[in-house]
Amino acid sequence: MSSYKIIQKARLSEKHTTTGKTQHFIGDKSMPQPAELVIAQYPDDSGYYLFYLDNAGEEMSDTFHDSLQSAIEQAKWEFEVKEEDWSSTL
């Protein structure tokens, strides 16, 4: 699969608390809070991916969204990420 284009990034800090509204797993263990969230899009794909990255920038998990706004809302719903927390890479 070809590489994706990063649309937006948000570095998580102590102000971004896990809301507990969803839970991700790595194997059979609960995934720790990511260090950064990245919204990206693959070429020839109309959807957007919300990638959950660890401190080393490695992907821990991802979710697929039909729109950019849906991915942004997911981050808000899970970690209270506000609009001003995102940095655009466009």
Closest CA to 6 of 79, 76, 55, 62: 62
pTM: 0.89
Distances (CA, A) of 29 to 6, 26, 70, 85: 28, 5, 27, 28
Instruction: Give 5's DSSP letter.
Output: E
| Calpha distance 24→8 (Å, rounded) | 21
Q: pLDDT tens across 12-47, in order?
A: 998 898 888 888 888 999 999 999 999 999 999 999
Residue 21: per-residue pLDDT:
87
Instruction: Give 15's DSSP letter.
Output: T
